[in-house]
Amino acid sequence: MPRIEIYTSPTCGYCHAAKRLLRAKGAAFEEVDVVRHPERRAEMVARAGGRRTVPQIFIDGRHVGGSDDLHDLDARGRLDPLLAG
């Protein structure tokens, strides 16, 4: 299983949607709450090429984008291969 990291905030509906999709796929992920750990937001922005919104999702270090990007990958049949490693 690949390493999945997702930067989130607790009140973000898109974050919840992305986590629901990952859970439905049986994928374990590491969550970084940027509200509880604001010092990690700069790390997220740097890793995400300047994108400041949450969620920002990384699979094996590769930035896949936000919730819409994750759902788009799934719709195009490209998420499962990434999750398979």
- Token digits for 70? 């994750």
Neighbouring CB atoms inside 10 A of 45's CB total: 16
On whether the 6-49+62-72 domain is CATH 3.30.420.280, my answer is: no
Q: Where are the domains of the chain?
A: 6-49+62-72
Which residue bears the tokens 């990958």?
73
Check residue 27 and give its pLDDT: 97
pLDDT digits (tens, 9 = 90+) for 2-44: 999 999 999 999 999 999 999 999 999 999 999 999 999 999 9
User: What is the pTM assigned to this prediction?
Assistant: 0.96
Label residues 22-35 b or e (16+ Cβ within 10 Å = b). Answer: beeeebebeebbbe
Cα within 13 Å of Cα(36), Cβ side: 8
pLDDT digits (tens, 9 = 90+) for 60-77: 999 999 999 999 999 999
